[in-house]
């Protein structure tokens, strides 16, 4: 259903003194509790997370969803390249908000910050996803493409 998920794909303006960021807004056809569970339960995350060109059944997720807890997500691309990202949860408000750091294992010094809010909406959930403190605009643009494709899969998963 092409119009079932409205994706405004808005990007915040980044003042020259700040690092690049992006904000994506998505309406999902499920209650906040279901969307939150898709982000915080490893078995569910493994069913929707990742790019469309990933090898089937290669995604692994380890999630310790609590303030100070860590996570690790790994998968193999269609070309055989291994990817791993991880970070630390900074804020966890069940069914409402997640804040965590994000870094790829290949560039751990490029840590960024993700904030996701889940708000009840007439047809389900309004998810506002903010990913900030990117190393550069290229990193932001690459992540935007990846997140949008993952969110398409998330919408189908929770519907």
Name the residue ranges covered by the structural domains of the chain.
22-158
| pLDDT at position 52 | 84
Contact 4, 155 (CB under 8 A): yes
| pLDDT at position 107 | 94
| pLDDT at position 17 | 58
pTM, 2 dp: 0.86
Q: pLDDT (tens digit, 0 to 9) for every residue of the chain, 159 residues total?
A: 333 333 444 444 555 558 999 999 999 999 999 999 999 999 999 999 998 888 878 999 999 999 999 999 999 988 999 999 999 999 999 999 999 999 999 999 999 999 999 999 988 999 999 999 999 999 999 999 999 999 999 999 999
d(CA 159, CA 157): 6
Cα 150 to chain centroid, rounded: 7
Using DSSP bridges, classify how beta strands 124-132 and 70-76 pair: parallel, antiparallel or unpaired. Answer: unpaired
> How open is the CA angle 136-138-143, to the nearest 5 degrees?
100
Measured between alpha carbons, how far is residue 95 from residues 30, 45, 64 in Å?
A: 12, 15, 16
| pLDDT at position 56 | 78
Query: 102: which 2 tokens?
Result: 């994000």
CATH architecture of 22-158: 2-Layer Sandwich (3.30)
d(CA 64, CA 70): 5
Burial of 75 (0-12, 13-18, 19+ CB in 10 A): buried
Q: Find, among 9, 7, 30, the residue nearest to 120 by Cα.
A: 30
| pLDDT at position 47 | 93
| pLDDT at position 81 | 92
Contact 101, 113 (CB under 8 A): yes
């Amino acid at each position: 259903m092409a119009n079932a998920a409205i994706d405004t794909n808005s990007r915040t303006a980044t003042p020259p003194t700040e690092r690049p960021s992006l904000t994506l807004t998505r309406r999902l056809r499920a209650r906040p509790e279901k969307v939150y569970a898709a982000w915080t339960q490893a078995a569910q995350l493994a069913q929707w997370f990742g790019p469309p060109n990933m090898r089937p059944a290669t995604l692994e997720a380890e999630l310790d969803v609590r303030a100070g807890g860590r996570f690790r997500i790994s998968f193999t691309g269609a070309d055989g390249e291994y990817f791993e990202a991880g970070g630390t949860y900074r804020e966890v408000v069940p069914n409402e908000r997640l804040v965590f750091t994000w870094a790829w294992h290949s560039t751990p010094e490029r840590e960024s910050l993700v904030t996701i809010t889940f708000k009840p909406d007439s047809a389900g959930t309004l998810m506002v996803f903010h990913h900030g403190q990117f190393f550069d605009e290229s990193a932001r643009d690459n992540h935007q493409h990846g997140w949008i494709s993952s969110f398409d899969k998330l919408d189908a998963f929770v519907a």
